[in-house]
Amino acid sequence: MRIATWNINSVRTREQRVRDFLERTDVDVLCLQETKCTDKQFPDFTDTGYQQAHFGLHSFNGVAILSRVGLEDVSHDFGQPGFNKDFAAEQTLEARAIGANCGGVTVWSLYVPNGREIADPHYTYKLDWLAALASYAEQGPDKLCLVGDFNIAPRDEDVWDRSYFNGKTHVTPRERAALKKLEEAGLTQATELIQDEYTYWDYQSLRFQKGEGIRIDLQYTRGITATSARVDRDERKGKGASDHAPVIVDYDYQAPKANTAGSQETEAAPHDGADSSNTTEATLF
């Protein structure tokens, strides 16, 4: 079973890139983050032979799953907190998670909160969000795959210059401890198979051209074993690329091919309320 995760940074802008990626990589499941559109605006990829589910509320955030091995029991709530910068107001659920049963494996496409700055309320929100994810994982299904943009570099080696990040998010002990909680819940970081490869390069300051990246796009699994993993670095090249590269992992698990002929788009369960935050994600650099 081949599962890929990709922060697409606007799926409508990069629809053809997604189509080309599906055709050339032979993935069974593709998880997208930062689709930056509502459910109605999400492109229809079902003509490619993949079923799809999307959760998006506004022109920021947004997550999706495309699967050719089945897409059942779609959900966007694993018990995570919502967010509102006014803590006295209702904390509404953001479009940061969508999960489904894909060929017998519960797969979640996750866009972990950025954290912004250590003193920012969004940093606490990030830690609380990850704590809820670990709690879900501890009690979750036997075959589980949590993938996406985690906005945390697990090791110092996963950033091009550790000193650049002094006093910044993405590398703090508390964030890394939150990732360790996933392992304590019985998950393995499948993307540890990738050595010396980054997955994100900011558009600013020619980061990609200089090789100044970070590894924050990860896959955590239980019940299926990763046999190989790679970063599709070529997808970060060229005009119109996302600032993230896809991360592709092969698992020693044979999922049945779903018959998607004539299938309709699978939608997430209805959600209550809307994201009340009026701020977009802060750029890391």
Q: Point out which residues pair with 230 in neighbouring strands.
A: 248
- Secondary structure of 164-212 as H, E, C letters: HHCCCCCCCHHHHHHHHHHHHCCCEEHHHHCCCCCCECCCHHHHHHHCC
Please tell me whether 166 is known to bind a ligand. Answer: no
pLDDT digits (tens, 9 = 90+) for 74-91: 999 999 999 987 666 677
Phi, psi of 83 (to 5 degrees): -145, 140
Active site residues: 111, 149, 244
**pLDDT at residue 249, rounded to an integer:** 98
Please tell me whether 34 is known to bind a ligand. Answer: yes
Q: Do 221 and 9 meet the contact criterion of CB atoms below 8 Å apart?
A: no
Please tell me whether 244 is known to bind a ligand. Answer: yes
pLDDT above 50: residue 262: no
pLDDT above 50: residue 272: no
pLDDT digits (tens, 9 = 90+) for 45-72: 999 999 999 999 999 999 999 999 999 9
Please tell me whether 275 is known to bind a ligand. Answer: no
Where are the domains positioned within the chain? Answer: 2-252
Phi, psi of 274 (to 5 degrees): -150, 160
The candidate with the shortest Cα–Cα distance to 189, out of 137, 237, 238, 124, is 137
**pLDDT at residue 280, rounded to an integer:** 31
Give pTM, 2 decimals: 0.90
pLDDT digits (tens, 9 = 90+) for 107-150: 999 999 999 999 999 999 999 999 999 999 999 899 999 999 99
Please tell me whether 243 is known to bind a ligand. Answer: yes
Q: What does CATH list as the number for 2-252?
A: 3.60.10.10
Average pLDDT for the chain: 90
DSSP assignment, residue 123?
H
